[in-house]
């Protein structure tokens, strides 16, 4: 149409604002034909430091303001304006000016550089009933409307970052305080929720839903470890909603694994077993093995001493148990390690009176735990294996053997251990107070020490 090349971005930006209702900062970036990440790269280069901290996600947050996101500073607007080839005042619309701090607004008006016209978006035109329209007008905006579908607030870098953060935190949980991991997962959850409120391509939306499902399931698992079961159930409900919209079998397995765990430790073993059994209906190949869910099913039934169901589940697990299954992989948070698998089998067998078989499983669990690299050891496993090994010795009439297992736990600080460690200490104290041990001074002293450790650790 005869415009000089240098004038085209300004005309494109103007039309994106007026005709499409796109906010000025987004309009100028699109008119400059820059992705979020490329714009961030140019921003960092313009500051003279290619390693500066601007990222595509932050530019996207600037573009979402003032509805949400982050308010850009005047200094940031000046740099972005240089990247887009305009002036910083052109990157602000009327709604932005309404929300600017007084100092920034005064600087806006004091700056002699003219701003691009702030044209309000016209209302959509609707044809009156019976009004005829020329053929050339019919569908004239269809292509423009379709092009809007290509606009997205997400890119592959952001999605890769979210997945990488989840994988890192899943691996770090074995060696980091649960509260710290829960806090970092909350940040990922908030980032994911903010992104889902924008516009994505269908595949990107599904990826964000899967991130939300996994993140919420991990948060529920950890909140349960901290004894915050009401929060756990809420988080698992959110995770399940994510999976319903994502329609992904692997995500459903993540959530059912977390739901079964939380249900068991909050006192609903039968529900735990049923959730675990349902999770097994979602076949996903080798990414998330059947072992955690089968063992969760066995443990759930053990809470009501349902021996046939427990033994059936243990037999199914034994037939598929892979002794070489390690702690690696992107689903290592849910693919529990060998020590934890044999510990779960042992607790299930112990609850239905199979003390000798349980003791063998606990022995294997102890050996597997000690072979793990320290970074893959879950700290809580040491006291839990010792406590339940002690309980197995009690069932077999070996009080001295029980004391030898439990005393190292009592000598350590259990105050920071997950809630299930304290729950098992309470169970052990109850069993030491059974009639068969009342006459034994060792049992009385041990029961008193166990209760002291349990009570002193409570908040």
> Please, what are the averages of pLDDT over each run of 10 residues along the chain (459 residues)?
71 84 89 87 77 77 84 89 89 87 85 56 39 55 62 84 91 85 94 89 91 96 92 95 92 95 93 95 80 95 95 95 70 86 96 95 95 86 94 93 89 78 87 88 87 63
> Around Cβ 221, how many Cβ atoms within 10 Å?
27
Instruction: Decide: 10 and 86 in contact? Cβ < 8 Å.
Output: yes
Predicted pLDDT of residue 124: 37
Tokens representing 26 are: 């987004």
Q: What is the C-alpha separation between 178 and 234, in angstroms, rounded?
A: 18
DSSP-derived secondary structure letter, 2: -
Cα-flanking dihedrals φ and ψ of residue 440, to 5°? -90, 120
Predicted pLDDT of residue 9: 80
Task: Tell me the per-residue pLDDT of 199-222, one tens digit each, with 9 for 90 and over.
Answer: 888 888 999 999 999 999 999 999
Q: What is the C-alpha separation between 94 and 254, in angstroms, rounded?
A: 46
Predicted pLDDT of residue 37: 83
With vertex at residue 23, the alpha carbon angle to CA 21 and CA 26, rounded to the nearest 5 degrees, is 120
With vertex at residue 150, the alpha carbon angle to CA 146 and CA 154, rounded to the nearest 5 degrees, is 150
Q: What does the buried/exposed string (b/e) look like for 263-281 if buried means 16 or more CB atoms within 10 Å of the residue's CB?
A: bbbbebbebbbbbbbbbee
- What are the residues whose beta carbons fall under 8 Å from the beta carbon of 387, sequence distance 6 or more? 405, 406, 409, 421, 424, 425, 428
Tokens representing 180 are: 């710290």
Predicted pLDDT of residue 232: 95
Q: DSSP assignment of 177-231, as one string? A: -HHHHHHHHHHHHHHHHHHHTS---HHHHHHHHHHHHHHHHHHHHHHHHTT-HHH
| Structural domains of the chain sorted by starting position, each given as residue range(s) with its CATH number in brackets | 5-124 (no CATH), 156-378 (1.25.40.10)
Instruction: Decide: 95 and 66 in contact? Cβ < 8 Å.
Output: yes
Tokens representing 93 are: 């619309």
Tokens representing 120 are: 């309000």
Instruction: Decide: 216 and 239 in contact? Cβ < 8 Å.
Output: yes
Predicted pLDDT of residue 128: 40
- What are the residues whose beta carbons fall under 8 Å from the beta carbon of 279, sequence distance 6 or more? 252, 253, 256, 257, 260, 293
Tokens representing 109 are: 């008006």
- Give the closest residue to 334 by CA, choosing from 215, 437, 177: 215
Tokens representing 412 are: 């350590």
Predicted pLDDT of residue 130: 42
Q: What is the C-alpha separation between 345 and 298, in angstroms, rounded?
A: 8
- Give the closest residue to 218 by CA, choosing from 265, 194, 251: 251
């Amino acid at each position: 149409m005869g415009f000089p090349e240098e004038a085209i971005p300004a005309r494109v930006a103007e039309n994106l604002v007026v005709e499409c209702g796109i906010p000025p900062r987004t309009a100028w970036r699109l008119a400059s034909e820059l992705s979020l990440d490329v714009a961030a790269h140019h921003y960092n280069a313009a500051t003279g430091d290619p390693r500066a901290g601007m990222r595509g996600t932050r530019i996207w947050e600037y573009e979402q303001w003032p509805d949400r996101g982050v308010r850009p500073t005047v200094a940031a607007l000046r740099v972005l304006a240089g990247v887009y080839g305009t002036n910083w005042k052109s990157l602000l619309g009327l709604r932005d000016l309404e929300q600017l701090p007084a100092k920034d607004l005064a600087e806006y008006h004091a700056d002699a550089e003219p701003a691009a016209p702030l044209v309000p978006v016209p209302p959509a035109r609707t044809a009156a009933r019976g009004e005829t329209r020329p053929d050339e007008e019919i569908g004239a905006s269809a292509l423009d409307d379709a092009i809007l579908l290509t606009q997205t607030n997400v890119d592959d870098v952001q999605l890769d970052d979210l997945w990488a953060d989840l994988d890192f935190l899943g691996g770090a949980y074995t060696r980091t305080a649960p509260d710290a991991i829960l806090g970092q997962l909350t940040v990922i959850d908030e980032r994911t929720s903010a992104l889902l409120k924008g516009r994505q391509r269908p595949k990107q939306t599904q990826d964000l839903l899967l991130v939300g499902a996994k993140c919420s399931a991990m948060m529920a698992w950890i909140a349960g470890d901290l004894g915050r079961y009401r929060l756990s159930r809420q988080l698992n409900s959110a995770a399940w909603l994510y999976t319903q919209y994502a329609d992904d079998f692997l995500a459903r397995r993540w959530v059912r694994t977390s739901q079964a765990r939380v249900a068991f430790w909050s006192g609903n073993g039968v529900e735990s077993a049923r959730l675990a059994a349902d999770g097994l209906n979602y076949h996903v190949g080798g990414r998330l093995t059947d072992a955690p869910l089968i063992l969760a099913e066995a443990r759930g039934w053990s809470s009501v001493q349902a021996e046939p169901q427990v033994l059936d589940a243990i037999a199914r697990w034994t037939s598929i148990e892979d002794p070489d299954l390690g702690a690696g992989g992107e689903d290592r948070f849910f693919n529990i390690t060998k020590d934890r698998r044999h510990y779960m089998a042992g607790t299930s067998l112990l609850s239905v009176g199979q003390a000798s078989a349980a003791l063998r499983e606990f022995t294997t669990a102890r050996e597997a735990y000690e072979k793990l690299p320290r970074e893959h050891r879950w700290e809580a496993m040491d006291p839990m294996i010792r406590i339940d090994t002690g309980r197995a010795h009690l069932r077999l009439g070996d009080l001295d053997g029980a004391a030898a297992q439990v005393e190292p736990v009592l000598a350590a600080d259990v105050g920071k251990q997950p809630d299930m460690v304290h729950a098992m200490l309470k169970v052990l104290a109850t069993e030491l107070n059974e009639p068969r041990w009342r006459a034994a001074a060792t049992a009385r002293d041990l029961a008193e020490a166990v209760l002291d450790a349990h009570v002193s650790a409570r908040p």
